Amino acid sequence: MMMANRERLLLAARELFLEQGYDASVDAIIGRAEVARQTFYNHFKNKESLFAEVVRDCFLDVLAPLNGHTDNLQQSLMSFAEIYRQRVLNPESIAAYRILSGQALRFPDLVREVYALGTGQMTERLADFLRKAMDEGHIRHADPVFAAELLLAMAVGQERSQRLFGIPCREEDEQLKIKQVVDGFLRMFAS
């Protein structure tokens, strides 16, 4: 059962880090995991290494799928944008973003790594997809990375900031917003 305790610690730490940030104490974590102090240090070198492991997990959940077909751009991009928004705007992702950006000075390498695994990879994927669509003449030729970053930014709009800062968002028609964004994007890059 060695793994059971390790998993309990990871789960408890994930919850507490997301709630309280890196300041969540080791005492609190072992308390929630219902595990002895020594057990914690059997499984992890120190608090930092536990944090690194938790954070790596969290940010892999951001990756949104993108079907490779460029024949129906509007539909592909809309379903991509919808899933991306879900992944990126849910409370857990927001908390992870908050904590990670807050620790960017303390753990610069970890934070860069995790960003590369999440948003970085997502940008690359989308850029590849858009490059293909450009080559096939569905949209105008332009820097695909620029276009990808632009679409990602448009898809989340100000909502990430609002959620990060605890601003109550006016509820809106999710689908309509996504359609407006994608249609607008396609009009920007119409060939």
Partner DNA sequence: CTTAGATTAGACTATCCAGTCTAGTTTTGT
Partner DNA sequence: ACAAAACTAGACTGGATAGTCTAATCTAAG
Residues forming contacts to its own copies in the complex (CB under 8 A) are 19-21, 97-102, 104-105, 108, 111-112, 115-116, 119-120, 123, 142, 146, 149-150, 152-154, 156-158, 161-162, 164-167, 177, 180-181, 184-185, 187-190
Which residue carries 């990126």 as its tokens? 88
User: Which of its own copies, DNA, none does 32 bind, CB closer than 5 to 8 A by kind?
Assistant: none
Shortest Cβ 57–its own copies spacing (Å): 17
Instruction: Identify the residue among 32, 47, 56, 138 touching DNA (CB under 7 A).
Output: 47
User: Which of DNA, its own copies, none does 27 bind, CB closer than 5 to 8 A by kind?
Assistant: DNA
What DSSP string describes 26-84?
HHHHHHHHT--HHHHHHH-SSHHHHHHHHHHHHHHTT-----S--TTHHHHHHHHHHHH
Exposed e or buried b per residue across 44-65, where buried means at least 16 C-beta atoms within 10 angstroms of its C-beta:
beebeebbbbbbeebbeebbbe
Instruction: Identify the residue among 1, 105, 176, 190 touching DNA (CB under 7 A).
Output: 1
